[in-house]
Structure formats: C-alpha cells, structure tokens
Structure 1
C-alpha cells in the first residue's frame, strides 16, 4: 500500500508539472489571442496593470485548481482501497468515518459566498495597485511638472493599504476554514478510535484489526481534508475565471481553454503563409462608412472616400469632428457599423487584418515607443538593411537629431520614449512607418509637435516619395 501510494505521488508529480506549464501557457495564449483580435483602438477594457494581474494571478489560480484536480486521482484510488479495508474490519464504524466529511462540506458551502466576495475584492484591490503603478511609471513627467510626487505616493500607499487589508481578510477566512477542517477531522478520528477501542475490549476487534483500522483511517481523513480545501479553491477559481473573461467582452468562457497548438520548440509558425498574392494599390474606396462611439454617440456617418495611387490626401477640420475616428475605422482599429471598404474594387472583409504592411503603414496621433533603442523602435522586427533605415531616417528628418546623440540609432529612448522630445518621438514613429515602404501611408496629425522648419522639410521629403499614396490628418 505504501509503495503504491509513493508510486501514485511520483506519477502525479510528473503529470502536475506538465499540466501546470501547459495549462498556464494555453490560458495566457488564448487570452492574448482574443485581445489581439479585438479592434486595435479598444483592445484593452482595463488598464495594462489590471490586465497583467489577470494574466498572472488569476491564471495561476486556475492552474492551481487543475493541479489539485490531478491530485484527486491519487486520493480517490488510495481512499477507495482504504475504505474497502475499513469496511471489511467493521462497516458500522466505517460509516462514522464519513461524518466529518459531511460537516466539512456543510461548512464550506455556508462560507462559499464569503469566499467568493473576499477573493474578488482582494483581486480587484491588487489590480488597482498594479494599474496605478503602470500609470505612474508612464506619467513620470506629468507628475514632476505638477510637483505631485507626494500626492501620488500617498495615493499609492492608500491603495496598497487597502490591498493588504483585503488580502489578509481573504487569506484569514481560508486559514480559518482549514483550521476548522483539521479540528473536525481530529475530533472525528478520536471518536472513531474510541469506538474501535471499545469493540476491541468487547472482543470484536483484535489488536491487529485495531492497528490496521488506525492505519487506513489516515487515508480517509486525508481525502476529507482534501475535499474541503478543494471546494474552497473551486469557489475562488470561479472568481478568477470571471475576471479573466471580463477582459474578453462578448467571448464565452470556453475560449479560455480552446485547444490550440503551443509551438514550444522549433520555428514559430508564420500566419502570413498561404496569404494571397500581393496586389499593389490602384484605388482605395469607402462607401457609407459609419461608426459611432458608444460612450458619446459621436463619430462618423456615411463617409465616401476615393484615393488613387500616388495621391496626397489631407483630411482637416475642427477638433472633435471625427478625423481620427475616420482613420481608425478605415484601418479596422474601430469596428465599422456600416459601409464598405474596397481595395482595387475588391471588398475588404477584415480591415484590421488587411491594412498592415506591405499594404498600409500607420502612425497614430500619439506615437507609442518602447524602452528600447531607436533602431529597435524603428524596425520592431521588420527585416530592413542599413540603407533602408537611413532612407527612412532622412525621410523623417531625424538625421540631425541622431548626429547629436552619442549612441545614434543605439540610443535607448526610455519608457514610452521619455528621453526624447515630442517632435523626436513623432519622427521616430514616422521613420518606423517609412521603413516599411507600404503602398498606403497613413499619418494622424504627425506634425503637431514639430516646428515650422522641420515640418516643412518633412512634407517636402514626403512629396518627393511619390511612389506611395498618402492619407494625412492635420489640424493646420
């Protein structure tokens, strides 16, 4: 029996390690896939910090539940054998062995609502702290300019104190339940052994029967404790699954565990393999293109647009008139409510998938840079040589700035480009777009942070690159 238990534990450990890694990876892969398939301008419904909290803590909670489920197989096998042996010795006393299990299940069920509420509150508090930290690190300059360091630190301290209180409350009820489980099992075991000892005095039990009964009783008490802990964890896991699906609005929980390949070895698959032949732009058209922001009801309606190859088209208008909304809807970053988009007369069914290099390159109104070098921010994995990078840098009027930097293209820009000026950030983003040499170049108010001379030089150089087609939003 002992050897069998050791073997079961060993096999369970091997399976557990594999399941923990694979299930955690699968859950995170499926969540990331669904987020990436959402419209780009509305991909995250929570702050990045809160989203990461769900990827980390809530995913780990689900993995723990799966691991415990795997452990249950070994418990069931050993407990079944132990119950058979106990019943063979005395079936009447064996029935009393399960009394603590009934009590534990009743206690857990009574506490289930409190378990769920406490876990949800503690997770939300931890997410708020993570979200606040992310916003702080991304807004260092704004905090310094407003001399609000002390206030921001106090705010973070209050959030962290609330997180500490709720996490302690959550863990307290879990440990309290475990203590009640242990005490209930100990009392029940003691009463069972007293009854067994009484039967031994009456001659119904031999010393050997009593020793076997006491030995196998441990296996039944183990699973009784396991069931209580498992049920509590199950309730908490329901909270984690709910939080994970909250960042995937409109998606069923089944997408979290959908079967997908995890390419852990070898070359990563290329989703572009098998795509249709590249078709250079001749004419881009929109007909009755419509989108309204759900929060305000504002947006665009019935937009008809026609761009021919080599055109330089500028969209202008007052602030809030829908210029950026038009670009985002055209590119699939916002889901169109009505209308058609056609590339050379062929309807574009999925704009977000289609309007990518080599068809389209896009620079948003607020450029996004990563805490890497300028070269890495320009390329972002794109296969381009030094000559192509130099051409993109010149087109973005960035060469003079790079000459003044000691590291040149190897200069690290800091978090969100904090080490660069606003104009330099915009021109790095422009170089990123130009190096891709797409058919359609889309600028969203690119020159808003540029001085007049730099802006003039950039537009002159872009006019000289007339092999591409340009769609530009400008307030000027």
Structure 2
C-alpha cells in the first residue's frame, strides 16, 4: 500500500538552513538592515530641503548643503549594497550547497539502482536525468526563500521605523497604509492551492524533459541502430510542448499575483494622496509641504515591503512543493535530513577554505575476516511480478570458489544484487561468520567485499584514478593489481600508461579492458569476498583462464586469501569450482560439484 507524503514544515526547515552559519546570516542581515535603513535619512533631508525653500526649516543650512549631504549618503548606500551583495552571494551558495550535499549523500547511500518516489498516486523510479531538476530547480527555489528572509527582516525593521515617522506626521493617513496588507493576505490564502498545484506541475514537466535528455544521450547507439531517431525526437517535442504549457501557466499566475500586489499598493497610495490633499487644504491642518514630502517618501518603502511580503508568501508556498519533492526523493527519510548540519569545504568571505579531514583508509578487522557466509531462504520479487528469487540458501567457506550458473533470466544477477544489498530482500537472512547482516548495502563494501557487474562503471578520469578512487597506494601495488587482472600488456600499449584517460564511462576501452580494469580496482583493495557477475562475458577463454590462475596463485604469494562468488558459464571455471549452484526460474535447481551436476558432454544431470 502506498503512503501519502507527510506534511512538510517548511518554516522549520528554512530556519535550520538559516542557523547553519549564524555568523554569515547575521552579517548578511545587518548589512541588509543598513541597506534598507539608510534610505530613511534622505527622507529627513528632503523635508528640510523643501522647508528651507519655503522658509520653515528647523536648521539654518542652505539647500546646496542639503544636496551635498544627500549625495554623500547615496555614495555610502552604494558601498553598503556592494558589501551586502558579497555576503548575500556567499550565504545563498552555502545554503544551496548544503541541500545538494545532503541530497547527494542520501542518494549515494541508496542501495537500489535508482531512487523511487512514493506518493498516494504512483510509485516510480527516477532516472539520473530527472534528478537534475531536484538538484537545480528545487535547490534554487529553497535558496531564494532563505535569501528573502534576511531581506524581509531588513525591510521589516525599516518599515517599523517608517511607520513611526508616518505616525508622527499624521495618524489618520497612516491607518490607510495597512489596507494593502489585509488584501495581500486574503489573496494568498485563496490562491494557495493553485500556487502549489501549478508549481508542482511545472517541476514534474521539467523533470520529464531532463529525464528524456539523459536517456537520449546515454542511448544514442541503441536509438540509431533501431532507426528510432524521429520517434524519439517526436516524443521529446511532445514533452517540451507539455512543459511549455504548464510553465506558461505557472509564470502567468506569478505575474498575475505580482500585478495584483503592486496594484493594491498603488491603490492604497492613491487613497492616501487624496486624503493628504484634503488635509493640506484645511486651514486647521499642521501638515506642511515638507511633512507631506517626508510622508510620501517613507510611504513608498512601506508599500514596497507589503508588496515584497506578498511575493514572499507566494514564494513560500512554492518552496513547500520543493521540500515535498526532495523529501519524497529521499525514500522514507525525514525532511530534517535535507538540512542536517554537515561540513562544507567552501571558501569563506576571506577566501580561506577549511582543511579537509584526513582520508580514512579502509582496514579489515580480524573479526571481519571471512570464515563462512550463509544465505538462508533469501527471497526477492520485482514489484508487480513473479520474477526474482525464492528461498535461496547456500553457504560459502573461506578461500572457496562458488560459481552460479543457469539460463538467461534464471535469477543469477538478482541473487548477487540481493546479497549485496543492491536490491532489498523481502525475506530471509544473511550471516557473516554466524553474525546476522542487518544492512547488506553498507556491510558488503571494501575491505569486506568488492563487486564487478557485467558492465562496470568507470569515470572520465585516468586509469590510476579509476583504480584507486581515493585509496592511497603506490605504483608497485597498482601494477601488481593490474598484472593480477591480466592488464599489463594493455598498459604497455598506452602512451600515457596509468595517466591514460579512459573517457566517459570508459568509452576508450574495450569491453574486456573495462572488466579487467574493474577487477584490478577490486584486487588492490584485497577484499575478503570477490563477487563477479559474468566476468567471461567480454573476455576470451585464454584471458579469463589466465586471470583465474593468477587469483589462485596469489594465495600462495600473499596472505590475502579471497573467497570468490561468481556467475559464469565457462567449463574451465566450473571445473575449478568448489561449489556450483544452478539457477532455474529464480530457485536453486541443482547444487554440487561439476561431475555431480553435468555429464561429460556438458548436459544437465539434475534438471
């Protein structure tokens, strides 16, 4: 049963983001208070300027002096704006970086191949392309909301000061100032549903467009082979047309709200001006031309604050959508995970970057040395299907070679993925040396275990960087791992040797080189358990035989005694196996040694 997402308290999450770096936020807020507060002084200067022209000035300064004072204050205001922009940029970047860092950390810890969003309507997997909209659009949306808080704080304090000035000029006119605020709150309450609905639709439409872009770029060859270029482009245009429609609708609503807020403040200003004209004409009124100029000057800041407040209230409703989307992507984790205080290694306002923590090199504990690995009634079925594995049970002993074999679709790869936590087991248990493994995804990692899938994942860096991935090893150890992976001859043909760039996803390497480089990445970590998913799929018989010989010969040369769990169909590998597991329809059809399962012609005996 699918569960509806919980109500997100966006104000609490925004506050946690604000409190992440209180010094930076305080500095930013103080500067914005100055930015908004300094314009209050020109209003007083303007009043004295006009009163000096009419002979009612309280000070004996000439109009030229007041103009020079106004110019000097304006220059100081410009300097404060530049300083505020520096802190504002730093603060905005820090907030969005924290969100993206926490979201990325959670996704990297996700044991499944793709994150899954669950809501009351559907359950769907999110592709890499679709995730871009979360890191880009939703993070920027939340960043804007945080930035507006400090600006509104500055405007709000300045508004209080302006209200005091207005009350000192005329109380009756000041009461009319609050009419736009009442109207703004009422409009936001009525439009809340449409604001959130349109923003959610625009985000989902953008997500689909970025998703199809990612799929197109990663499947160019398949599209060309199938001759489906026009169909794919037609589908892409359709998604863009739908996005265009919902984006226009969302933008139109925002523009309408901005227009309404602006017109409401203008209407309120017009009413106040009419009232002021009546008061000035009365003989009993003490309202001077200078007082009127001061009132109008400060009135513009107050109505501007009400307009900004209305826009922020609309922005806040849209931010709720972004928080709900990002929380749904976290797959069951609370929203507080998004704003958890984690270290960010960014330059501060002085251009200094905090030192990185020392990289911890993985070390194997004696208690973690593999003696036995037991699978008990392991079961997993793909959603809405009967495909998967059912009640898989077997045991591996230290230093043994266990080969899983069977026809295509029999559940071999699914078994490995469930064992390693890449797919969530639905029942059964896994025991390492008799101890229950509660979290396989975080347990089966180097130096306990290492895994090479059928199509290994490489990065667009050098051979060295793809092998080490942050591990600190010297060249001798790297060369030893490459030799064990039968890669030394390939390395000799490369001009840059270990500094050779492999290209995007290892595009410059052949399929066999990809698999052997991934194997070298496993060997250099010397894990207790080596898991290969059909290593022979891209290797010729001689190369694979040499690789296995070097793995087994290494045991006599080094203290490292790996336990191997592999998928293979090669008889040369099956003949070396201590245990063969034959899979059929997601279950174990036969188990034993080669001569117990296959006859001399390679025909199955037990199924």
Q: TM-score, normalised by structure 2?
A: 0.72
Report SS of the residue matched to 1:357.
coil
- Write the deviation string for residues 438-464 of structure 1: whole angstroms up to 9, x where unpaired: 121111112112233333333333333
Match of 2:469 among 380, 386, 396: 380
2:170 to 78, 90, 114: 90
Distance of aligned partners of 1:405 and 1:295 in 2 relative to their CA distance in 1, 3 Å threshold = farther
Deviation at 1:280, TM superposition (A): 2.4
Cα RMSD of the aligned pairs, angstroms, is 2.8
Map of 2:328 onto structure 1 = 246
Deviation digits for residues 41-67 of structure 1 (CA, Å, limit 9, x no counterpart): 345641111112201210110010011
Distance 1:270 1:411 in 2: 25
Match among 307, 320, 323 for residue 396 of structure 2:
307
Give unmatched runs, 5+ long, in structure 2: 1-36, 42-76, 117-124, 347-353, 556-560, 571-607
Determine if the alignment matches structure 1 residue 38 to structure 2 residue 76.
no
Tell me how far apart the structure 1 counterparts of residues 227 and 342 of structure 2 sit (CA, whole Å): 49
Q: Is 1:169 aligned to residue 249 of structure 2?
A: yes
Q: Equivalences for 1:29-428 in 2 at 5 Å?
A: 29-43=101-115, 45-202=125-282, 203-207=284-288, 208-264=290-346, 265-268=354-357, 270=359, 279-428=368-517
Matched, 1:20 2:92: yes
Where 1:286 maps in the other structure, the secondary structure is strand
Contact 2:163 2:174 in 1 (8 A): yes
3-state DSSP of counterpart to 1:340: strand
Q: Distance in 2 between matches of 1:405 and 1:146?
A: 34
In structure 1, distance between residues paired with 2:134 and 2:433? 43
In structure 1, the partner of 2:68 is none
Q: Structure 1 unaligned segments of length 5 or more: list them.
A: none
**Change beyond 3 A, Cα 1:376–1:25:** same
1:42–1:334: 8 Å Cα contact kept in structure 2? Answer: no
SS in 2 for 1:319: coil
Shift of 1:311: 0.5
> Structure 1 418/162 Cα, relative in aligned 2: closer, same or farther at 3 Å?
farther
Structure 1 CA distance for aligned equivalents of residues 540 and 506 of structure 2: 19
So what's the TM-score if we normalise by structure 1?
0.90
Corresponding residue SS for 2:113: helix
Aligned length: 476
The 3 A distance-change label for structure 1 pair 282 and 304 is same
Q: Is the 8 A contact 1:375 1:409 kept in 2?
A: yes
The structure with the larger Rg is 2
Once structures 1 and 2 are overlaid, which stretch shifts more, 14-23 or 128-137? 14-23
